[in-house]
A and B are shown apart, each in its own frame.
Chain A
Amino acid sequence: MTISITLKVNGATHQLSIDTRTTLLDALREHLGLTGAKKGCDHGQCGACTVLLDGRRVNSCLAFAVAHQDAEIVTIEGLADGERLHPLQRLFIEHDAFQCGYCTPGQICSAAGMLREVEAGWPSAVSADLNAEHITLSDDEIRERMSGNLCRCAAYANIVPAIAAAMQNRSPKEVTR
């Protein structure tokens, strides 16, 4: 069933004529040519399709595009400021935090959303104190919070330090922009 929809992606508004069955991931990739978000499992288990919906990280493969016309959607293509890379993009390169790179856009979008959650004081399953005002982002915290993003090259050993550096070395505002 074809329907006319509007999507707001990386600051631009797009009119699309799509089948209601189109996931947000397929709308981005097949209709808007934004192939940064990847289709890994297509069942919400691998995180390769992660994008930000109103600043929150979600699996775009489990979202119908038609249901998210009100949201500000940001993909990996929207994180950089022109030629100036997002701090997480730069740190993933500096730390060699990928091998094949297929999971990387999802990892970086997920990390961007995750750092906002830390900034908001959200605890995780490994946080010692559920009611703490401030989260210390230990390596264990990063591993737990990034557990929705799988890397079959197993670049985790470098992904964790890249994200830790993003939190330590930069102002939160820059990292979470």
Chain B
Amino acid sequence: MKPFRYERASDASTAVTMLAEAPGSMFLGGGTNLVDLMKLGVAQPQVLIDVSHLPSHRVELLADGGVRIGAAVRNSDLATDRTIRARYPMLAQALLAGASGQLRNMATTGGNLLQRTRCVYFQDISKPCNKREPGSGCPAREGYHRNLAILGASEACIATHPSDMAVAMVALDAVVHVLGPNGERTIPLIGFPSPSR
């Protein structure tokens, strides 16, 4: 694993500024995907900005019947939240169908959406991969691809997003609230520019 500097963000706007100002920086949430990718050499951040302590741990029932889910809400807390279980059982079931008890206790909602593909060639830096190195090729097209895309793939990449949670959220017309250097905006989850796509 490459050496990195560890920083902790105190609030969301500070986190955005830190990310914009530090070259090669990435956000750390639960770490279940990122730490693994760092061990594999796929992710090589120079600075890790820990955002798991930001105050976004709530699942709020809104007046219109919807819910707002904090990016730092753990998968287990979301799956077992009484409101989610009663009003959005599809989302609770999708979460409980994924990973293990230990991983769900660590993984965050934001990190779940932003996780990288599980394509074995993406995870193996000794292999070509258009997603890691554009133009290097895609061994998955002819190789091991039984969990990869049939529909919606491109010539360059047939990777899929691994999240069960995201599938349920897309079916529920979820909208992602994003904070960036230019302020807040909302993006329908179906068009969310996830790094897995």
Contacts and interface: CB of A to CB of B under 8 A. Distances in A.
Interface of A: 1, 3, 19-21, 23, 42-44, 47, 50, 53, 56-59, 62-64, 66-67, 70, 110, 113-114, 117, 120-125, 130-131, 145-149
Contacts of A53: 105
Most buried by B among A43, A113, A121: A43
Given A19-B3, A122-B76, A148 B36 contact: no
Given A67-B50, A67-B52, A145 B101 contact: yes
B1 A21 contact: yes
A70 B89 CA distance: 33
A110 B3 contact: no
Contacts of B103: 44, 59, 62, 148
Contacts of A43: 36, 39
Interface string B1-20: 10111100000000000000
Interface residues of B, number: 34
Interface of B: 1, 3-6, 28, 31-32, 35-36, 38-39, 48, 50, 52-53, 76, 79-80, 82, 85-86, 89, 92-93, 96-97, 99-103, 105-106
Nearest to A3: B6
B102 A21 contact: no
Given A19-B3, A147-B100, A148-B101, A63 B106 contact: yes
Nearest to B46: A1
A58 B28 CA distance: 16
Given A20-B4, A20-B6, A110-B101, A42 B28 contact: no
Contacts of B6: 1, 3, 20, 64, 66-67
B193 to A, nearest CB: 25
Contacts of B32: 44, 59, 62
A57 B105 contact: yes
B100 A148 contact: yes
Given A21-B1, A63-B35, A57 B101 contact: yes
Nearest to B96: A125
Given A125-B93, A131-B85, A1 B4 contact: yes
Given A64-B6, A125-B93, A148-B100, A42 B39 contact: yes
Contacts of A125: 93, 96-97
A148 B105 CA distance: 12
Given A21-B1, A58-B102, A125-B96, A67 B76 contact: no
A59 B102 contact: yes
A51 B85 CA distance: 27
Nearest to A45: B100
A66 B31 CA distance: 12
Contacts of B76: 56, 117, 122
A140 B31 CA distance: 29
